Every structure is written in C-alpha cells, then in structure tokens.
C-alpha cells in the first residue's frame, strides 16, 4: 500500500492530481492522506484557486519593440564565439 507524506503530496503529485493523470492507487492514497491532513487540504485549495485565477488572467501580449530587442539579443548570444 502506498503511504504518502506531506512533502511527497505537495512536491510530486499535486499538479497531476488536479489534472486527473494519476493511477487509481495513487489517487486513493492521496485522498486518504487528505482526510487526515488539514495543512495539505488548505494547500490544495490555495493551489486550486491560484490555478483558477491565473487561468482567468489570460496571456499578456509582448510589445513589438520588446520582441525585436529580445530577438536581437538572442541572435547576438547565439553567434558569440563563432
């Protein structure tokens, strides 16, 4: 049987848990852990809310001038030493 500690839950499984990509055994172990661990439940709820808010914020478009400057910088970096 899989027994999880808080660090393992938070570090290794949280994103996959929310994405629904874990095996049934791991999901069962995580949910069992959540039944007894209020700090992990609080962290999970905060993480869910953060993902929701950042998803709503949308993607900011990079200004054209910045794109040009970044492209020039990267080209200079790539051609250094050649």
Provide the residue-wise pLDDT of the chain in tens; the chain has 82 residues.
Answer: 556 567 766 777 888 999 999 999 989 988 988 898 888 888 899 989 998 888 777 777 889 999 999 999 999 888 886 6
Helix axes 24-36, 38-57, angle to 10 degrees: 110
- 């848990």: which residue's tokens? 17
To the question of pTM greater than 0.75 for the whole model, the response is no
- 């993902």: which residue's tokens? 51
Overall residue count recorded for the chain in this entry: 82
């Amino acid at each position: 049987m899989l027994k999880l500690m808080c660090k393992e839950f938070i570090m290794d499984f949280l994103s996959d848990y929310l994405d629904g990509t874990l095996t049934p055994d791991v999901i069962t172990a995580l949910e069992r852990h959540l039944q007894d661990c209020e700090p992990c439940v609080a962290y999970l709820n905060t993480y869910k809310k953060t993902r929701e808010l950042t998803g709503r914020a949308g993607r900011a478009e990079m200004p054209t001038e910045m794109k040009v400057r970044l492209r020039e910088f990267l080209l200079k970096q790539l051609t250094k030493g050649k």
